Structure 1
Amino acid sequence: MPTYEMKPDDLLSADVQSIPQPDDSSAYMETPSLLSAINPFTDNQQVQRGRDAAFRLDNSLGSFIATAPFSQFDKVDGYNPFDNNAADLKGYEDYADSFIDAGSPDETRAIMNRIDQQMQDRQYLSDTGGAGTISSLAMGLIDPINLASMFVPAGAVVRGGEVAATAGKFALANAVGGIASEAALSTTQETRTLEESAANVAVDAMVGGILGAGAQLLAGAGQRAAVSEAVASNLRGNDSPQSIGAEQVFNTTLDQEQLAGLGLINKTLSVNPGGRLAQSPSRASRAINQQLAENNYYFAKNDEGLATFTAAETKIKQYDAMLYKQMESTKDAYQTYSKNIRSTGGTRMNFVDFNEAVGMAMRRGDQSEIPEVAQAATQIRPMFEATKVRMQEMGILPEEVDVSTAQSYLPRIYKFDKILSDRTEFRGRIANWIQGISSKGADAASTRIEKIDSGLAAAAEAQPRAQTLADEIAAAESWSGRKTELMDEVGNRTKLIGQEQDLTARLEKQQSQLATAKNQKLISRLNKEVSDLRTKLDDIAKAKEELPTLQRHLDLLDNPRKYRSELRKLQKKANSTTRLNASRERNLKAMEPLSREEAEDAADEIVNKIIGAPSGLVPAQLLPEKIIGRAGFTKSRSLLIPDERIEDFLESDINHVMESYLRQVGPEIELTAQFGSKDMGEQIRQVSEEYTQLIKDAKTPKERGRLEKQRDADLRDIEAMRDRLIGTYGAPKDPRSFFVRAGRVARNVNFLRLLGGMTISAATDLMRPMMQHGLSKSLRPMGAMLNNMAAVKVATKDLREMAVGLDYVLSTRTKAIADLTDPYSRRSAFERGLNWGTQKFGNWTLMNQWNSALKSWSGLIVQSRILDNAKLLSAGKEVPQKEVRKLAQIGIDQSMLRRIGEQFAKHGEDMDGLMTGHSHLWDDRAVREAFQSAVLKDVDSTVVTPGVGDTPLMMSNEVGKMILQFKMFIFAQHNRVIASGIQQGDASFYLGAMGTIALGAMVYVMKQKLSGRDIDYSPNNLVKEGIDRAGMIGWLSEPLNAVENISGGRFGLGAMFGAPPVSRFQSRNAIGALLGPTFDMAGDGAVIANGVLNGEFDSKQVHAVRKVMPYQNLWAIAPLLNKVEEELK
């Protein structure tokens, strides 16, 4: 470190006795908030004072500065502070050794003041609690000795090779760094004891890591005793058990869901939603967080072999494999088409037109006059069918789904820009369709009126019949239980009626005799006989009347179901009058078709819904409520206009359609599969109920208030990550606005003008597989890659089935890092051109190829690691605890590992030591999904690819995207590398970290040469640049670099190392340092405009012109532009 000659007055006043002593206000001081403590720009005086104290106490540079003037005192001849029984040292007897070299009374008093200052600093940091701890962390983090000893392989402190033998849990390198740091601090601090330094070094060895200065934090005043007692539990991240009142929906405890590693480091994760939820007091929130968003954290349960939940985000990313297959199929078909068209001498369409033709064919039964187009459509069709079947399994779609708008299904993606530019035409077509449907509906309504009238007549006729039958059934039921008696009654009447003919003949005979009789007695007798016969005939006549009724009763009793069913039918028909009358009224209304004005008004409303849809997700229900019930529109509210009628307003480019479709249905399918519904209503209820119980159990109003706020925060973060997956979080209210579209264009332009050298910057990624898996496991697949390329091709093809290594085609990581993932964006011709340019730019920079290769390598490593352990378990051997923990962290427990071994035995292959599972052939779906998700999760954490839980929520809105563009990676790096690596806590991480820093220094050298700038080879500068380029202090580097840029290098990482400012943002102006690359570009534009208007076009303006040019720092172009710029200056 360089030293600088200075006068005493530069550091302290001329009269050292007048060193101001801070008041001891700890008795009445209010502890500053943690939010203020982590805010680098806070104006909180207590926090600033704590930082000053921590810099003097826990940073070797600060401690040295505080000591510096004591070599400047003039000696007094014969002076001895120990004269007169050391009267001058009264009260400082415990620190007598510090006064041995004191040469004057002034120096003695200065040493006393220094001791007082150290003791007050310690007490102040202790009294400020968490804020003091954070201040110590920050100052210890930037301690030059700690950083240099940890990150410079050839530095002054040599790291031994015995790290690998330390059981993988303690970082010997950091212990050595701790010894060096403690030695420096002990030299400059009287109050630092040997026992304290020894304890600090011991804890350094336990909690070390790439943020080894965090151990120095633990050595901060007032913190050591508490941490030394609690270090064992802190290393595992355990909190005290809490009461859980919500329904038991997970099989783990709150402690098991606790983040592993050092709790203080884990607190730095609280800037992102995934990190906050991982530390929530709610067990449900912690578990749901794992199920929702992908992370690379270790949890306490992983030590027990309990697997981290597989995240819905990981499963959603696997749909990229389907998109990749579609794009490759289309590209292959186009190549075949191009070859065939050349042989026939025909006119060849370009690739974009070919993609459009494929989309059009998919609306026409996959048929086309061009065989290659039809072939591509046929190959793509099963992909849509697969998603349809999956959605039917989830209950998202009904079992029977008919395509009513085309011969065959192609998702309807609207060309928003064309609709905006030709709205009148689009609205007119929809209005014409509405009127046509309405007219047909009116004719159909007239026909229905005739049928309804016929039904009303039938209902009127059925009414009396139903009543009669009901009366008959009631009368028959009066004989229920007396059927024999009824049969007797029927038999008696039948017998009586059978006598009618004989009695009639006798009556006629008697009447004939009566007519000729003369004898009075005979006449009397005949009259009596005639009267009797007539009475009997009257009885017969009555029996004839009663017999049918009695027989009907008997029939009804013999066939009750038949007549009950007949009665129900008659009653239903009779009771249909009300329904038919209502239907008649509706159809009378529907007989009047919509007017042209009404149709155009409805079409206007439909167009507004389409172009105003958030994130381009157009709702299925588009028809206005006011036309439902009018002619032709009685049920569905879907816009069922045939695709062919609006085809020029629909996207037909199959690549864009497939990407948009999968981005929409993928989250809906996987969220439904994981949580039961896309809105996660049940999970939100569980979290809320658990907090209700926690609040009920809280002891104080303050604690209850804190839990209420925490509940709101948890629900906000869960819903935000859910909506990020769906694509609607932060969606602008007006996606058509100039600000929104200009911001999107600006981000694309920034990507093209600033990231030409991103592949060189990504060289530090080379160490990530070794950090994650260790040297031997990382190099074994590399050996196979060099010796057996055929095997590598087979294994790489398997990885692509898992959506691993697809960046060359999809630019997945590049777009995520540059914040260009917006598949639903409006696409003008200019925007389409920019999108094409950004895709190609990723290939021209070789970044996509780099990402594909590195992810493939990482995929081979983790796949082999899983399968090796699966074979071990299948052979009846014990899996090492380290492997159990790692496998659990990526979502595989021992039971699943055993099932993976069974599937590998059936379908897998060992190709000269290179393992591949052929997992797409596995017949156990659950095992296949678990294995593929584990591989993909680990790969995207090894080759850091930002996820929905990795970045602050503000980065999803338009302002955040603009200001924080290109910052997604550093937040993801902090989560997936720094914090996760410290939680991992083995030698692989620490050795890999040192290699990463070395590569970062190499990147600095290469970048400087490429840009034509001088290279500073001083060790402190290389260390500083290596740390910064490797991102090894995570998101903390961003505020440090911004402050450094604004302050002109007076503060920041460079100043801490006694080196120039970091080179990464050397060309960025102060506005850009604070507000991001878009404002940086605007600042450069202002510089150019000022030069043009003033007629002064010097080197500043020339450089500004270069900076706003796309491709200006592309590795192949930058050297040429360097020379041109130099000539123009």
Structure 2
Amino acid sequence: MPIYPQSDVSASVMNSALQAPTGFDVSLPEGTNPEPQQLQPSVWDAAFRQNNLLAGMFRPAKQFEPANGYNPYSDKNELNGYEQWGSAFADSKSPEETIWIKNQIDDENEDRRVLAEAGAEGTLSSIAAGVIDPVTVASMFIPGAQGSLAARIGSQVAIGAAGTALSEVALNNEQYTRTVRESAAHITAGALLSGVFATAGAMITPSVRNAATREVAEALDNMSASTTINNAADALADTLPSGGSVGAMRIREATLEDLTPVSGGAIGKLAKKAGSYLTPITRLMESPSKEARRTALELAENNFTLEGNLRGIETPVAAETRVRGWRREEAAVVTANKQAYTQYKAGGGDLGYTAFREQVGEALRNGDVHVNAKVQEAAQAMRTVINRVKGAQQELGLLPPDAELKSMGQTSYFPRVYKVGKIVSERDKFRNMLVDWWSRGEKTMSREDAEIAADTTINRIVGAKIPQEFANVFMVKAPGSTKSRTLSVPDRLMKDYLESDANYVLQRHIREASAEIELTRTFGNKSLDSQLAAIQDEYDALMRMRPAEQEKLAKAREADLRDILALRDRLVGTYGMPDDPSSFFVRAGTFLRSANFVTKLGGMTVSAIPDLARGMMVNGFSNTIRGYGALITRSPAYLASRAEQKKMAVGLETILHTRARTMGDLVDSSSRTTVAEAGMERITDVFGKLTMMGHFDDMNKSVNGMITSDGILSGAFPAKRLAKLGINEKMAERIQREFQKHGEVIQGWHIGNFEKWDNQYAAGLLQSAVLKDVNNTVITPGIGDTPLWASTPLGKTVFQFKSFATASYNRATLGGLQEGTAQFYYGTAFQIGLGSLTYALKQAANGREVDLMPQKMVLEGIDRSGILGPLMEYNNMAEKASGGMIGLGPLLGTGTQSRYASRGFIGSALGPTFGLLDTVTDVTAGVLNGDAGDRVLHSVRTLLPGNNLFWIAPLINQVDPAMK
């Protein structure tokens, strides 16, 4: 059987002509033969093989004679260097076939290298090769929907995405190294380009339309040109008002007018009036108190363009943004444990992943020492993270010195998180243990005093709203004593009542400790005493100045203080928590919300398709296409930027899934108390990975983070946008100096290398600016973006899955209207088009007919784009409550919106949990009555975790009688 060590298609049909001989007129030493000319790798050939189905047609199919008993995995050296593509060898029946597969993988990787090194030429070649793909060409002849702009955009985007998806199916069968992420990126690019070309030229005003058209034309003309580095000071000077002195102005000297969001024109004013009353951050930005507005800006991340930004006054970096920056430490914990566990299993370890993490926790309590080397290495890696958090806490006086921590009974510091449920169920046993230790073990107090101290301690543990409060549970006051004292209890004595899972303990510890750290750094203490007093004083002064408005001002003061305290407590994680967080009803609500997440959000990634337009709304057409081009080709610039973005805490969703959990309203600071709750946590983690939402979010966040970093470091962003991100003129100059000294330009992209900067304060501002901009571009709900009532146990249940609507309205709609750029308007049109595509995909996946009526496509696009936020939620609930008699759908003759089509009235009005209970009741009644009809079977299906995962639901639909 022949072996093919070389590529079967070394030169494509596009390169079959003989090369012209060159070099033979050069004299050579006697006896020396001229070396044959080496063919240079062709960028076009590489692009053609990677992105066009025709390339595979020219690759002849190979037949190999099977070797008896051959297994490519039996010899560990057989696949050395090819472990990443191990599954590609599963069907190999002989050594010859294995070698052939290796050659194919090598060729594909070489093509990727050629395209990446070619930069812009590689991007253009890849796009061109994909455009002439036969499936893509065929899709161009499919007629789109007629009618309104949104209908045309939606149909063209759907056609473009569907055509690219068909190509990807075939390309995945042809190529061994093609990944799901690459396929998603290519489908995204296909939809993006189709929507862009369908959108061009349709804007609100002639000036906006002309600006958008001009930008698209210039982007296409300059796609292959290298980006020039603008001088930051010149760029700022050109955009500042004449005679402005930005460097001397700071947020502390800002006036009430400076702290007022710009109006955004007539539409902006109308949008603000329609929805600003809903959320605390929008209410506070309309406060008559300057102190209240400033404190709100320093607390909550936002996307407001302030009047002061137009004059170069920077918006302060919010404590919330800095807290989100600590997620890189969370990611370090998860990644280090996962890597250590992989090595542990490779060495023959038999523990499961959870048990392994618990052993790491035990090692952290005992001097980072363990009998297993891999567990010990993981504990030592965790110690680095613990010390960073502990050092920040001790520096601010939030944690006692090391000596005092040791006196509490810990061999080495590992945050204590108690198994509250176990302590509640074994209260007497736990109490006796404490009493025995305090009265006999150390003989520091009488048994009667020890019993009182034990009861006080247990009540504090059970009543703690967040695990962070556990730090002080042993600070008790004995009877007859005037001072509190810390009673030591060794970890070894309580280990059965302590959580040991290193991931669980450290992730919760980092989230809660980081909030206290950043509140203290920003405001001087975590209670905000000075700021609250300043707000009170300002209102007192206003009442003296305007006695006729005292009643109105008193109400405003009460509302401001309520909202400020709510933002503070939301950041810490205690707002809206009941006095007894361990009560059955509170725990049940948390459990049911998790159940809703795993049974109802399987299609969340498809629903997030409109997120792709946000980059265009914020960064424009040219930057967005350029960014996704770098992603698709996996260029060196993208890889370098991706590594730096992770250090900025950007693009960690695949590891932490924080955005998906936030939008699913699963953020809960209270401790788990039962085995069932711990099991549900694991189920939600696995489900989050299966939705692929983390990969989708990381793709979008990484690209937009790359664009933002490049805009700041190159000096391309105008002063207004820099000020909005927290960077004034002088700081922009410092950032430029640091970049010139330590940064680099790769393929036209500016990479900061901020860890090397001499001015780490400037580096921190750069990181915060990028993180804030990415969270506003890829909408990530924050502490100020949802109504306060939505944080109560009942409110969380009713408001579940709706946080994105209000966050999108605050950050995308209001923020975009305030910016007033051309790119916001044409990006909005594209987002509506992608919303229409999402509607079509969802309908097709559920076996329902896609209504291409223009009015229907427009309404569905608006609804699923999120551009109208809660306003469409109100409309949809009205349609459902009225049986389709009231609302935009009935008005335009399109019926109710598809998002609410499968929901009952209870689920629509009171949230998915009540809808879930309604479904359970329906199933129970059916079983008791002996009715196992199609409706009941369908209801049972909807209760299964993962039943509507977008990649498995079409298969389940085939056997679901209600879907036939």
TM-score after normalising by structure 1: 0.63
Q: Which one has more relative contact order, counting CA pairs under 8 Å at least 6 apart?
A: 2
Q: Write the mapping of 1:995-1006 to structure 2, written as runs, cut at 5 A.
A: 995-1006=830-841
Aligned to 2:485: 637
Q: Is 2:257 aligned against 1:255?
A: yes
**In the TM superposition, what whole-angstrom CA distance separates every residue of 1:666-711 from its partner, at most 9, and x where no partner exists?**
01111111011100000111111111111111152xx211011001
Counterpart of 2:485 in 1: which secondary structure?
coil
TM-score after normalising by structure 2: 0.73
Q: Is 2:645 aligned against 1:799?
A: yes
Aligned to 2:278: 271
Aligned to 1:335: 342
**TM-superposed deviation, 1:1123:** 2.0
**1:170 and 1:723, CA in 2 relative to 1: closer, same or farther beyond 3 A?**
farther
Query: CA–CA distance in 2 between the matches of 1:1010 and 1:1128?
Result: 10
Aligned to 2:238: none
Paired residues of 2:705 and 2:771 also in contact (CA < 8 A): yes
Aligned to 1:354: 356
Counterpart of 1:915 in 2: which secondary structure?
strand
Q: Which residue, out of 691, 694, 704, partners 2:539?
A: 691
Paired residues of 2:636 and 2:746 also in contact (CA < 8 A): no
Q: Is 2:414 aligned against 1:410?
A: yes
Q: Write the mapping of 1:734-753 to structure 2, written as runs, cut at 5 A.
A: 734-753=580-599
**1:1094 and 1:369, CA in 2 relative to 1: closer, same or farther beyond 3 A?**
closer
Counterpart of 2:730 in 1: which secondary structure?
helix
Aligned to 1:303: 310
**In the TM superposition, what whole-angstrom CA distance separates every residue of 1:1048-1074 from its partner, at most 9, and x where no partner exists?**
211123113221210001111011111
Query: CA–CA distance in 1 between the matches of 2:963 and 2:840?
Result: 25
Query: CA–CA distance in 2 between the matches of 1:304 and 1:291?
Result: 19
Aligned to 1:615: 466
Q: Tell me which amino acid in the other structure corresponds to 1:364.
A: N
Query: CA–CA distance in 1 between the matches of 2:714 and 2:898?
Result: 44
Q: Is 2:945 aligned against 1:1110?
A: yes
Paired residues of 1:659 and 1:823 also in contact (CA < 8 A): no
Q: Tell me which amino acid in the other structure corresponds to 1:861.
A: I
Q: Which residue, out of 708, 713, 718, partners 2:559?
A: 713
Aligned to 2:820: 985
**TM-superposed deviation, 1:270:** 2.0
Query: CA–CA distance in 1 between the matches of 2:326 and 2:901?
Result: 40
Aligned to 1:1087: 922
Aligned to 1:365: 367
> Number of matched residues?
735
Query: CA–CA distance in 1 between the matches of 2:380 and 2:875?
Result: 55
Q: Write the mapping of 1:778-793 to structure 2, written as runs, cut at 5 A.
A: 778-793=624-639
Q: Tell me which amino acid in the other structure corresponds to 1:266.
A: K
Q: Tell me which amino acid in the other structure corresponds to 2:322.
A: K
Higher normalized helix content (fraction of residues): 1
Q: Write the mapping of 1:30-429 to structure 2, written as runs, cut at 5 A.
A: 148=148, 153=153, 161=201, 250-260=252-262, 261=264, 262-267=268-273, 268-340=275-347, 342=348, 347-397=349-399, 401-402=403-404, 403-404=406-407, 405-429=409-433
Query: CA–CA distance in 1 between the matches of 2:324 and 2:750?
Result: 23
Counterpart of 2:383 in 1: which secondary structure?
helix
Paired residues of 1:293 and 1:312 also in contact (CA < 8 A): yes
Paired residues of 1:615 and 1:735 also in contact (CA < 8 A): no
**1:1023 and 1:284, CA in 2 relative to 1: closer, same or farther beyond 3 A?**
same
**TM-superposed deviation, 1:1108:** 2.2
Query: CA–CA distance in 2 between the matches of 1:800 and 1:428?
Result: 48
Query: CA–CA distance in 2 between the matches of 1:165 and 1:883?
Result: 23
Aligned to 2:617: 771
**TM-superposed deviation, 1:797:** 1.3
Q: Tell me which amino acid in the other structure corresponds to 1:724.
A: R
Aligned to 2:504: 656
Aligned to 1:435: 439
Aligned to 1:863: 709
Aligned to 2:98: none
Aligned to 1:123: none
Paired residues of 2:201 and 2:209 also in contact (CA < 8 A): no
Query: CA–CA distance in 1 between the matches of 2:319 and 2:812?
Result: 21
**In the TM superposition, what whole-angstrom CA distance separates every residue of 1:377-432 from its partner, at most 9, and x where no partner exists?**
11221222222322233243466644222221111111112212322322221111
Query: CA–CA distance in 1 between the matches of 2:251 and 2:310?
Result: 21
**TM-superposed deviation, 1:623:** 4.7
Paired residues of 2:456 and 2:476 also in contact (CA < 8 A): no
Once superposed, what is the RMSD of the aligned Cα atoms?
Answer: 2.6
Paired residues of 2:153 and 2:833 also in contact (CA < 8 A): yes
**TM-superposed deviation, 1:737:** 1.3
Counterpart of 1:910 in 2: which secondary structure?
strand
- Which structure has the larger Rg? 1
**TM-superposed deviation, 1:149:** 5.6
Query: CA–CA distance in 2 between the matches of 1:1104 and 1:971?
Result: 30
**TM-superposed deviation, 1:365:** 1.3
Unaligned runs of 5+ in 2: 1-146, 157-197, 214-249
Query: CA–CA distance in 2 between the matches of 1:172 and 1:625?
Result: 66
**In the TM superposition, what whole-angstrom CA distance separates every residue of 1:170-193 from its partner, at most 9, and x where no partner exists?**
9999xxxxxxxxxxxxxxxxxxxx
Aligned to 1:1124: 959
Counterpart of 2:525 in 1: which secondary structure?
coil
**TM-superposed deviation, 1:1030:** 0.8
Paired residues of 2:597 and 2:664 also in contact (CA < 8 A): yes
Paired residues of 1:798 and 1:920 also in contact (CA < 8 A): no
Aligned to 1:1073: 908
Paired residues of 2:151 and 2:852 also in contact (CA < 8 A): no
Aligned to 2:683: 837
Paired residues of 1:909 and 1:915 also in contact (CA < 8 A): yes
**1:737 and 1:154, CA in 2 relative to 1: closer, same or farther beyond 3 A?**
closer
Q: Write the mapping of 1:806-821 to structure 2, written as runs, cut at 5 A.
A: 806-821=652-667
Aligned to 2:38: none
Q: Tell me which amino acid in the other structure corresponds to 2:271.
A: I
Counterpart of 1:736 in 2: which secondary structure?
coil
Aligned to 1:913: 748
Paired residues of 1:815 and 1:821 also in contact (CA < 8 A): yes
**1:1080 and 1:833, CA in 2 relative to 1: closer, same or farther beyond 3 A?**
same
Q: Write the mapping of 1:433-512 to structure 2, written as runs, cut at 5 A.
A: 433-436=437-440, 439=443, 441=444
Paired residues of 1:743 and 1:962 also in contact (CA < 8 A): yes
Q: Percent identity?
A: 39
**1:410 and 1:167, CA in 2 relative to 1: closer, same or farther beyond 3 A?**
farther
Query: CA–CA distance in 2 between the matches of 1:674 and 1:604?
Result: 37
**TM-superposed deviation, 1:952:** 0.3
Q: Which residue, out of 855, 859, 874, partners 1:1039?
A: 874
**1:253 and 1:408, CA in 2 relative to 1: closer, same or farther beyond 3 A?**
same
**In the TM superposition, what whole-angstrom CA distance separates every residue of 1:735-791 from its partner, at most 9, and x where no partner exists?**
121111110110000001110111000011111111011011222232333345343
Query: CA–CA distance in 2 between the matches of 1:263 and 1:1066?
Result: 33
**Segment drifting more, 1025-1034 vs 901-910:** 901-910
Query: CA–CA distance in 2 between the matches of 1:720 and 1:152?
Result: 44
Q: Is 2:478 aligned against 1:627?
A: yes
Query: CA–CA distance in 1 between the matches of 2:575 and 2:758?
Result: 37
Query: CA–CA distance in 2 between the matches of 1:401 and 1:168?
Result: 65
**1:628 and 1:865, CA in 2 relative to 1: closer, same or farther beyond 3 A?**
farther
**1:396 and 1:1087, CA in 2 relative to 1: closer, same or farther beyond 3 A?**
closer
Counterpart of 2:780 in 1: which secondary structure?
coil
Q: Write the mapping of 1:908-947 to structure 2, written as runs, cut at 5 A.
A: 908-947=743-782
Paired residues of 1:316 and 1:670 also in contact (CA < 8 A): yes
**In the TM superposition, what whole-angstrom CA distance separates every residue of 1:634-653 from its partner, at most 9, and x where no partner exists?**
96533420111101211111
**1:427 and 1:1062, CA in 2 relative to 1: closer, same or farther beyond 3 A?**
same
Counterpart of 2:745 in 1: which secondary structure?
strand
**In the TM superposition, what whole-angstrom CA distance separates every residue of 1:972-1020 from its partner, at most 9, and x where no partner exists?**
0100111111111111111111111111111111101111112111111
Query: CA–CA distance in 1 between the matches of 2:770 and 2:574?
Result: 28
**1:968 and 1:983, CA in 2 relative to 1: closer, same or farther beyond 3 A?**
same
